[in-house]
Amino acid sequence: MKKSWSKDSRVWLGILLLLLLLGGILLNRGGAVPEEAYGVTINGVTVPPVPTLNPDQVAQGQQLYANYCSSCHGANLEGQPNWKQPLPDGKLLPPPHDSNGHTWHHPDDLLLQIIANGGDPAISTMPAFRDTLSDAEMRAVLAFIKTSWGREEREFQWWVSSRQAP
């Protein structure tokens, strides 16, 4: 008698667990998922959510930035004072790379191209790094630069980098 009761209770326990599981699945489906989890929407175009930066890549980029970029673009990515004002000979000054500059206006492809090929020598002292840095190293510097952007700048730059041309 005792034996069959405990068998019954195990069946009921099983049913209860199943119901809890089902309830959990249903609740989860209807649950509030934050809007931004679906991606970044600008001008009605949605791209996937902003990916998390790889800390190892960022650390490598920080070192490379200090060695190769900080002398012109500033130790804290602040650029040169009055960088918006070209020099009397028409040359442009190194702009900041943080949120105050316009680096974040441009997609990854263009930024990597500028780092690899340098600026137009007529108006720029930006060196070409293609013979100094590998593709992975240039990407690492860019990843480090991204850590200095605010959320809006980061989202915008991710959006311009990942949206498909119409």
Q: Could you tell me the smallest distance in angstroms from the CB atom of residue 39 to ligand HEC?
A: 25
Query: Taking CB under 6 A as the rule, does residue 71 contact ligand HEC?
Result: yes
Which tokens hold the place of 79? Answer: 């650029």
Nearer to ligand HEC, 47 or 116 (CB): 116
Kindly tell me which residue out of 74, 98, 101, 140 binds ligand HEC, with binding defined by CB under 6 A: 101
- Residue with Cβ nearer ligand HEC (40 or 69): 69
**Site for ligand HEC, residues 110 to 149, rule: CB under 6 A:** 111, 114-115, 119, 124-127, 129, 141
Say if residue 80 is exposed, middle or buried (CB neighbours under 10 Å; 0-12, 13-18, 19+): middle
Nearest CA among 149, 136, 140, 153 for reference residue 69: 140
Instruction: Tell which positions 15-44 bind ligand HEC, by CB under 6 A.
Output: none
Cβ atoms of residues 144 and 58 within 8 Å: yes
Stretch that binds ligand HEC, among 7-15, 19-27, 43-51, 94-102 (CB under 6 A): 94-102
Q: How far is CA 78 from CA 42, 95, 118, in A?
A: 27, 7, 19
The rounded distance, in Å, linking the Cα atoms of 148 and 62 is 11
Q: Which is nearer to ligand HEC, 73 or 155 (CB)?
A: 73
